[in-house]
């Protein structure tokens, strides 16, 4: 397809990576009426989409050879590079004019590398980073940040409308990924701030339920964190955004900061607590740092009883 050719429900889409977000994004796009071919290393995840009408591919090569647009939502930079640049990957098998919509949270440098490799093959690459957890994905209420060619981004909006409530074009290739790192810096820092505030309230002997209920209603709590507080009140850390993925994002943020010569002491400190929680090995939500800080408060010297 042409770089600025508008997407319609006749446009054949491929989707690679059906994890926490990818499966939900793919399901909404499929429900919007787009023909879709899917692939995941976990065949059962692909078959679940197949039961809803998608065609299941045996690998990235088979998928790339038959679609107009390839979307992907993968767990790491290494996975993205393997899918696109590896033997039997997308770039070796995609047709001229194919459009890529890469939705993974990866380093801006990685997406720029893909962009350069794709341009030599007459393939267009957009980085369209995703902000929002699984409930937002299921509701079609994600926020998207795009980088690459503006015309290609604007021509892809029918896909975005199926999964997001808003989308922003941020600029050249890598800009969407860069904005995602900015947003997740605040997300990770905000969660650690909540965890420390809860721990302080615990140490000061505030009634736990009242502490959580009141904190969630204050103006200082971002909407993305209010629901996390409500779940944490009931010790519910079912993964909507797993702590291992927040750990990966902290690493990307700090690597980008180091590359820019930027010191981010608060982010570094929050990343340490997040990494400790991620090392516990449980598949829990990144809000589990609240529990970790609460446990720390339990062993702190007794504070004064709140009046």
pLDDT by residue for the chain (307 residues), tens only, comes to: 887 899 999 999 999 999 999 999 999 999 999 999 999 999 999 999 999 999 999 999 999 999 999 999 999 999 999 999 999 999 999 999 999 999 999 999 999 999 999 999 999 999 999 999 899 999 999 999 999 999 999 999 999 999 999 999 999 999 999 999 999 999 999 999 999 999 999 999 999 999 999 999 999 999 889 999 999 999 999 999 999 999 999 999 999 999 999 999 999 999 999 999 999 878 999 999 999 999 988 766 655 554 4
For the chain, the domains span 13-172, 180-298
The pTM assigned to this predicted structure is: 0.92
The DSSP-derived string for the chain is --TTPPP-TTS-EEEE--STTHHHHHHHHHHTT--EEEE-SSHHHHHHHHTTTPEEPSSHHHHHTT-SEEEE--SSHHHHHHHHHSTT-HHHHPPTT-EEEE-S---HHHHHHHHHHHHTTT-EEEEEEEE--HHHHHHT-EEEEEES-HHHHHHTHHHHHHHEEEEEEEESTTHHHHHHHHHHHHHHHHHHHHHHHHHHHHHTT--HHHHHHHHHTSTTS-HHHHHHHHHHHTT----SSBHHHHHHHHHHHHHHHHHHT---HHHHHHHHHHHHHHTT----BGGGHHHHHHHHHHTSPP-PPP-
Q: Given CATH 3.30.70.2190, say whether it is the number of domain 180-298.
A: no
Q: Given CATH 3.40.50.720, say whether it is the number of domain 13-172.
A: yes
């Amino acid at each position: 397809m042409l770089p600025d050719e508008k997407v319609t429900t006749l446009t054949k889409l491929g989707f690679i990576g059906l994890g926490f977000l990818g499966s939900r994004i793919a399901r909404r796009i499929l429900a919007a009426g787009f023909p879709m071919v899917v692939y995941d290393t976990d065949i059962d995840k692909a078959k679940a989409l197949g039961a809803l009408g998608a065609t299941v591919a045996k690998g990235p090569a088979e998928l790339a050879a038959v679609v107009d647009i390839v979307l992907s939502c993968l767990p790491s930079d290494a996975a993205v590079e393997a899918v696109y640049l590896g033997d039997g990957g997308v770039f070796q098998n995609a047709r001229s004019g194919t459009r890529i919509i890469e939705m993974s949270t990866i380093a801006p440098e990685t997406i720029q590398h893909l962009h350069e490799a794709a341009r030599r093959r007459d393939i267009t690459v957009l980085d369209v980073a995703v902000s929002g957890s699984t409930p937002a994905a299921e509701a079609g209420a994600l926020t998207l940040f795009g980088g690459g060619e503006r015309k290609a981004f604007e021509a892809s909006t029918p896909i975005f409308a199926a999964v997001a409530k808003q989308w922003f074009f941020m600029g050249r290739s890598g800009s969407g990924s860069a904005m995602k790192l900015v947003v997740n810096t605040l997300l990770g820092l905000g969660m650690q701030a909540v965890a420390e505030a809860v721990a302080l309230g615990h140490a000061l002997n505030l009634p736990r339920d009242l502490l959580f209920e009141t904190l969630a209603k204050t103006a200082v709590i971002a909407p993305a964190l209010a629901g996390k507080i409500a779940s944490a009140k009931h010790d519910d850390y079912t993964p909507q955004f797993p702590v291992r993925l927040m750990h990966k994002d902290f690493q990307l943020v700090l690597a980008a900061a180091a590359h820019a010569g930027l010191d981010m002491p608060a982010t570094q400190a929050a990343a340490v607590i997040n990494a400790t929680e991620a090392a516990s090995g449980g598949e829990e939500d990144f809000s589990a740092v609240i529990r970790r800080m609460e446990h720390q408060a339990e062993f702190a010297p007794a504070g004064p009883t709140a009046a």
